[in-house]
């Protein structure tokens, strides 16, 4: 099990040192991780971070949410935000660290973003730039272009909000362990000994979505984890409780705008 979001929200975790001075606007760090690696709760107090996996997938928990980030996508983590990273498959992680002054209009909260082919190429090149670099140089111009490209990235619906209410948290833990659970609102109301309308109100207040939308998003994000490591669509669809691969693909496209095969291309 991953750490509870309450823990992440209450503690910033380990403070990781930065290897360069404040005059460097952005730099890139490249690291490879074995399947199943868990990077414990930590934060970067003086830098925003864009976490990108050239291969594999990441499950990131930050603030009061959980993101699944396959390759071709990334997650933006504002400076000072505590986060935990779980590596799905062999992960080639490439992280950009940005001085807040260099991106005054940066998103205030964590979010998943699309990585354009241009930015992917720039990140690969940035990983080879020695620190510190001279601003008026080829390396400096490259890193400035990285910053320009980062400010155009669209946010993606790869986020699963996680509640603070203990009753909803019990449901969330069950959905994480068993995403094919078909329990209805009435079933959960009976288990938790509350009225159905109570769960509906809690979902609207704490999640901003209905119970059905929450469960659907939990299933789709778990599907992303499994598809990212090469599992077949038919196996994933049936394991997550969909009646057929076509029903799963239709739901996937409705949510993400692409079929599973095109999403990972």
Q: Are 87 and 33 in contact (CB under 8 A)?
A: yes
What integer is the mean pLDDT of 2-31?
56
How far apart, in whole angstroms, are the C-alpha atoms of residue 200 and residue 104?
Answer: 38
Report, as an integer, the average pLDDT of 39-56. 91
- The pLDDT of residue 179 is 86
- Per-residue pLDDT tens digits for 53-66: 988 889 998 877 88
- Answer yes or no: are the C-beta atoms of 97 and 26 closer than 8 Å: yes
**pLDDT value of residue 10:** 39
Res. 205 pLDDT band, cuts 50 70 90: very high
The C-alpha atoms of residue 265 and residue 137 are separated, in whole angstroms, by 34
What is 5-156's CATH topology?
A: Jelly Rolls (2.60.120)
The rounded radius of gyration (Å) of the Cα atoms in the chain is 19
Q: Is residue 115 pLDDT above 60, yes or no?
A: yes
* Whole-structure pTM value: 0.76
The band of 85, judged by pLDDT with boundaries at 50, 70 and 90, is very high
Three-state secondary structure string covering 32-86: EECCCCEEEEEECCCCEEEEEECCCEEEEEECCEEEEEECCEEEEECCCCCEEEE
pLDDT average, residue stretch 95-107: 90
Residue by residue, what is the 3-state secondary structure of 169-190?
HHHHHHHHHCCCCCCCHHHHHH
What average pLDDT does range 124-153 have in this prediction?
89
* Residue 254 clears pLDDT 90, i.e. is over it: no
How large is the average pLDDT for residues 177-198? 92
Contacts of 232 (CB under 8 A, 6+ apart): none
| pLDDT band, very low/low/confident/very high, at 116 (cuts 50, 70, 90) | confident
| pLDDT attached to residue 92 | 92
Q: Quick one: pLDDT at residue 127?
A: 92
What pLDDT is attached to residue 23? Answer: 58
Query: Residue 84's pLDDT band (boundaries 50, 70, 90)?
Result: very high
Q: Determine what percent of the chain is predicted with pLDDT higher than 90.
A: 43
State yes or no: pLDDT of 180 exceeds 90: no
Superfamily covering domain 163-263: Homeodomain-like (1.10.10.60)
Confidence of residue 132 (pLDDT cuts 50, 70, 90): confident
Domain boundaries, the chain: 5-156, 163-263
pLDDT of residue 39: 94
On the question of pLDDT at 6 being above 70, the answer is: no
């Amino acid at each position: 099990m991953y750490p509870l979001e309450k823990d992440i929200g209450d503690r910033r975790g380990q403070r990781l040192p930065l290897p360069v001075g404040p005059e460097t606007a952005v730099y890139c760090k490249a690291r490879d991780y074995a399947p199943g690696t868990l990077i414990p709760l930590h934060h970067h107090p003086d830098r925003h971070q864009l976490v990108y996996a050239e291969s594999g997938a990441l499950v990131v928990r930050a603030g009061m949410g959980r993101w699944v980030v396959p390759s071709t996508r990334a997650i933006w983590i504002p400076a000072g935000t505590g986060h935990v990273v779980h590596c799905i498959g062999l992960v080639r992680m490439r992280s950009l660290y940005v001085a807040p002054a260099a991106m005054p209009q940066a998103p205030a909260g964590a979010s998943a973003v699309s990585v354009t082919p241009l930015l992917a190429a720039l990140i690969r090149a940035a990983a080879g730039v020695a620190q510190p670099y001279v601003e008026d140089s080829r390396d400096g111009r490259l890193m400035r272009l990285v910053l320009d490209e980062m400010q155009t990235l669209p946010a993606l619906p790869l986020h699963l909000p996680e509640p603070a209410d203990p009753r909803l948290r019990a449901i969330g833990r069950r959905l994480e362990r068993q995403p094919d659970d078909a329990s209805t609102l009435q079933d959960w109301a009976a288990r938790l000994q509350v009225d159905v309308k109570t769960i509906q109100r809690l979902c609207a207040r704490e999640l901003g979505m209905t119970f059905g939308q929450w469960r659907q998003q939990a299933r789709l994000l778990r599907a992303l984890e499994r598809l990212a490591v090469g599992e077949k669509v038919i196996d994933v669809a049936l394991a997550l409780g969909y009646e057929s691969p076509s029903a799963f693909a239709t739901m996937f496209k409705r949510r993400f705008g692409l079929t599973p095969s095109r999403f990972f291309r």
